[in-house]
């Protein structure tokens, strides 16, 4: 069993192509001994966003704070609320945005694919 507190997980700035104002806490990953699934807590500064991207890992996301939105591959932007859940299938284009003036926080889980670590993905960026 693995038990950790958020204060034990360092915050890492995400500087991947197209990502703006995002930090992550890689809460449970392969480094912790998780063989198949990873949990990350991701925070977006006001105006922060990911790129429009796709990757072979599915996402399950739960929004804890802020004013989130998700953009689909066809450009459709959906405003979400704290307490909403989102499932993004593998290889589906998507982008996360913070539309608010305060930080946005979400829990994001992904499968750890062969050769993966639960921190990075093999994202294809489309912006």
For residue 81, the domain's CATH number is 2.60.120.10
Q: Does 5 reside within a domain?
A: no
Scan for tokens 């945005």, then name that residue.
97
Q: Per the structure block, which two tokens stand in for 76?
A: 């459709």
* 124/3 Cα distance (integer angstroms): 33
Q: Per the structure block, which two tokens stand in for 74?
A: 């066809």
The per-residue pLDDT for 120 is 82
Whether the Cβ atoms of residue 79 and residue 66 lie closer than 8 Å to each other: no
Q: Does 70 reside within a domain?
A: yes
Q: Does 3 reside within a domain?
A: no
pLDDT tens, residue order, the chain (127 aa): 999 999 999 999 999 889 999 999 999 999 999 999 999 999 999 999 999 999 999 999 999 999 999 999 999 999 999 999 999 999 999 999 999 999 999 999 999 999 999 998 766 666 5
Q: Does 49 reside within a domain?
A: yes
Residue-range definition of the domain harbouring residue 31: 16-125
The per-residue pLDDT for 121 is 73
Q: Does 97 reside within a domain?
A: yes
Q: Does 66 reside within a domain?
A: yes
The per-residue pLDDT for 126 is 66
Instruction: State how many domains the chain has.
Output: 1
Pairing mode of beta strands 104-111, 124-125:
unpaired
The per-residue pLDDT for 124 is 66
The per-residue pLDDT for 87 is 98
């Amino acid at each position: 069993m693995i038990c950790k507190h958020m204060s034990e997980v360092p915050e890492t700035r995400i500087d991947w192509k197209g990502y703006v104002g995002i930090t992550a806490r890689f809460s449970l990953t392969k480094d912790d001994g998780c063989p198949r699934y990873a949990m990350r807590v991701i925070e977006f500064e006001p105006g922060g966003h990911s790129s429009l991207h796709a990757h072979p890992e599915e996402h399950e996301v739960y929004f804890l704070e802020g004013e989130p939105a998700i953009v689909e591959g066809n450009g459709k932007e959906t405003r979400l609320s704290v307490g909403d859940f989102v499932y993004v299938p593998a290889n589906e284009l998507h982008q996360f945005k913070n539309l608010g003036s305060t930080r946005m926080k979400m829990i994001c889980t992904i499968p750890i694919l062969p050769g993966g670590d639960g921190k990075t993905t093999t994202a294809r960026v489309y912006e």
